[in-house]
């Protein structure tokens, strides 16, 4: 494939995913809580390795998880990376079961070398996604069995992340980096209670907010050679937590039988949110260009972050409304022969992870279990043959993910703990290609 064809393929993928970017990529009732379902923020190279990335360092892959890795890019190369995902989700809540399919835009990033030992990366990633719609069956009112009530819940929105980062190799074994990001998005949650009696009023309760803030993540990598072919890389990142100076709004509406608004009350909270302090650390072991394995551990301190809540009917800001998000991941990659025949030049990847999710589905204290998530990932890399010997070969990253979540919630029917179970099958496709933009040609 020529450079022209690669660029045309990339543009086609960008155009085809524009509508997917506007969508959310999830259909989960759990996205009703917190900022929604947090994105894995993985790139094409590590989606099949359960997102392991802190110690990964490769001049032919863009690793946005640790900005210190940007310094690995060579002086002649410019990298482009973009990806999309296809989802098939199954949801089970008691006797209720539902299946949903969706697509999502995963990421776009561009990386180049600014000067010796300094790499620059710019891109866009989803931060969180919200998308759900469900309703309850008719319930008979106590004391008046001739009237029934029904409830419906809908929500949509999400947060996106645009970033600019730099990585600098300050010493031969040590690199540092920083990502500066702008987060933007919104959310809307609406619940409606209606009655079978035509003369009765309906009630609508809504929550919304517009989010726009900054974020900074610092990265570090240390390389320790063991032999001529073997080395260990230790990586770590820290994300700075801070206040988000945005407002959150709760409103209540009373509607008559013709859906005309009869009354509205509105409560607004200023400086209602906080981003958490986050910590990630990982280690990677590499044997030449054949294989590498790694492990990451991460912690996001959401319990210390402010978030809007309701207590005794009042709308207010409080901490401890969310759980700390914890994750451990293992992953690896094997390439039989990077310079051999096509099948031996393919890379094969495998990974697994376990995490505790951050969003509480109950703030009353009745539910004591925490939401958990775990998954298995696998995939491979398809090199695209490039007849132009002056350019590196583009790659298609293919990954498959199976994800299971257990989400405890308060069942309003019997005031006891119930569980929402979700299972996802994901197909993730990413295109990575590099161009030798900075090669200096000589004429003899």
Residue 110's nearest CA partner among 48, 38, 162 is: 162
β-pair type (273-275, 242-244): antiparallel
With a cut of 50, say whether residue 19 has pLDDT above it. Answer: no
pTM of the full predicted structure? 0.88
Number of C-beta neighbours around residue 137 at 10 A: 8
Per residue in 312-370, pLDDT (tens digit) is 889 999 999 999 999 999 999 999 988 888 888 899 999 999 999 999 888 777 788 89
pLDDT band at 227 (very low <50, low <70, confident <90, very high): very high
Q: Tell me how far apart the alpha carbons of residues 235 and 66 are, in angstroms, rounded to a whole number.
A: 7
Per residue in 78-100, pLDDT (tens digit) is 899 999 999 899 988 877 788 88
| 363 compared with 394, residue with greater pLDDT | 394
What is the mean pLDDT of the segment spanning 50-71?
96
- 239 touches 277 (CB < 8 A): yes
Q: Tell me how far apart the alpha carbons of residues 119 and 96 are, in angstroms, rounded to a whole number.
A: 51
Q: How many CA atoms lie within 13 A of 234 on its CB side?
A: 5
Residue 440 is predicted with a pLDDT of 53
Residue 103 is predicted with a pLDDT of 87
Q: What is 247-283 written as a DSSP string?
A: -EEEEEEEE-TT--EEEEEEEEESS-EEEPPEEEEEE
Per residue in 406-439, pLDDT (tens digit) is 999 877 666 678 888 999 999 999 999 877 665 5
pLDDT band at 14 (very low <50, low <70, confident <90, very high): very low
Q: What is the largest CA-CA distance in the chain?
A: 97
What b/e string do you get for 157-172 counting C-beta neighbours within 10 Å, with b at 16 or more?
A: bbbbbebebbbbbeee
Residue 69's nearest CA partner among 295, 181, 190, 221 is: 221
Residue with tokens 């409304």: 321
Please state, rounded to an integer, the average pLDDT across all residues of the chain: 87
Per residue in 240-295, pLDDT (tens digit) is 999 999 999 999 988 876 667 777 899 999 999 999 999 999 999 999 989 999 99
182 contact partners, CB below 8 Å, separation of at least 6: 161, 162, 163, 212, 213, 214, 215
């Amino acid at each position: 494939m020529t450079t022209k064809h690669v660029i045309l393929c990339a543009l086609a993928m960008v155009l085809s995913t524009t509508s997917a970017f506007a969508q959310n990529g999830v259909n989960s009732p759990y996205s009703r809580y917190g900022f929604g379902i947090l994105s894995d923020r993985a790139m094409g190279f590590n989606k099949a390795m359960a997102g392991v990335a802190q110690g990964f360092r490769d001049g032919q892959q863009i690793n946005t998880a640790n900005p210190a890795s940007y310094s690995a890019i060579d002086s002649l190369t410019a990298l482009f990376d973009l990806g999309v995902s296809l989802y098939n989700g199954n949801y089970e809540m008691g006797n209720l079961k539902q299946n949903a399919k969706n697509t999502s835009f995963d990421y776009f990033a561009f990386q180049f070398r600014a000067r010796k030992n300094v790499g620059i990366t710019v891109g866009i990633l989803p931060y969180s996604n919200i998308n759900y719609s469900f309703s309850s069956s008719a319930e008979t009112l106590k004391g008046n069995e001739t009237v029934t009530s029904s409830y419906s819940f809908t929500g949509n929105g999400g947060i996106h992340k645009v970033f600019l980062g730099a990585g600098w190799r300050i010493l031969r074994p040590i690199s540092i980096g920083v990502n500066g990001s702008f987060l933007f998005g919104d959310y809307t949650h609406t619940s409606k209670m209606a009655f079978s009696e035509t003369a009765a009023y309906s009630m609508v309760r809504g929550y919304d907010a517009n989010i726009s803030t900054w974020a900074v993540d610092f990265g570090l990598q240390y390389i320790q050679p063991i032999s001529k072919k073997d080395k260990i890389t230790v990586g770590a990142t820290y994300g700075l937590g801070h206040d988000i100076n945005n407002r959150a709004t709760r409103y209540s509406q009373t509607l008559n039988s013709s859906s005309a608004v009869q009354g509205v009350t509105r409560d607004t909270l200023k400086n209602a949110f906080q981003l958490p302090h986050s910590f990630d650390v990982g280690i990677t072991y590499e044997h030449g260009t054949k294989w590498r394995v790694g492990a990451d551990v991460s912690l996001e301190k959401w319990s210390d972050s402010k978030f809007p809540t309701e207590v005794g009917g009042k709308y207010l800001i409080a901490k401890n409304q969310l759980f700390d998000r914890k994750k451990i991941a293992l992953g690896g990659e094997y390439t039989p022969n990077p310079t051999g025949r096509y099948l031996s030049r393919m890379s094969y990847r495998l990974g697994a992870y376990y995490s505790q999710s951050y969003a509480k589905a109950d703030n009353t204290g009745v539910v004591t279990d925490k939401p958990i998530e775990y998954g298995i990932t696998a995939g491979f890399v398809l090199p695209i043959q490039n007849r132009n010997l002056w350019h590196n070969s583009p790659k298609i990253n293919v990954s498959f993910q199976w994800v299971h979540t257990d989400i405890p919630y308060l069942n309003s029917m019997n005031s006891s703990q119930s569980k929402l179970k979700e299972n996802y099958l994901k197909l993730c496709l990413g295109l990575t290609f590099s161009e030798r933009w900075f090669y200096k040609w000589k004429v003899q």
